[in-house]
Amino acid sequence: MGTILDKVAYLIFGSRENDISNLLDKNLDYVHRDAAAEALLKREFGPDTVAAYLRVACDPDESRELVEECGEDLGIVWAGLDECPSVEDFARLRPEARAYAYHIIQSRKPEWLPMLLWPWKKDGQILAE
């Protein structure tokens, strides 16, 4: 993304809508999409934030790295909004995104785990594949 000044300018002058657009733009390279995902975490969360992260984290054609990033970010956003994700949304995540979201939820909102894990837990372990 460039220098520290570039990053600061992006955060100051960018917008959530721009970050979402960049995150979802498959024509951008991984570095820019990842930066947009990270920038979204520094802004006010909303339903459009969750929808954008879900779109990437569920997409079988997305790179594993970006899916993992969005899974982790979803866990942070859900915990930050204090909104337990629906079982359906959690189930739609690619396994690697689900594992990252799980770890964030486990550390920040462990009381949600019984509601989310019944179909995803085997022998006490989260299923990542």
Between CA 19 and CA 25 the distance in angstroms is 10
pLDDT in tens, 75-127: 999 998 898 998 889 989 999 999 999 999 999 999 998 888 755 555 555 55
**Per-residue tokens: 60:** 């079988």
Look up the pTM and report it. Answer: 0.80
Q: Which domain holds residue 101?
A: 4-126
CB 85 within 8 A of CB 49: no
Residue with tokens 């999409």: 33
Classify residue 20 by burial, with Cβ atoms within 10 Å: 0-12, 13-18, 19+: buried
- Tally of domains in the chain: 1
Between CA 92 and CA 88 the distance in angstroms is 6
pLDDT score, position 129? 43
pLDDT in tens, 18-52: 999 999 999 999 999 999 999 999 888 888 999 99
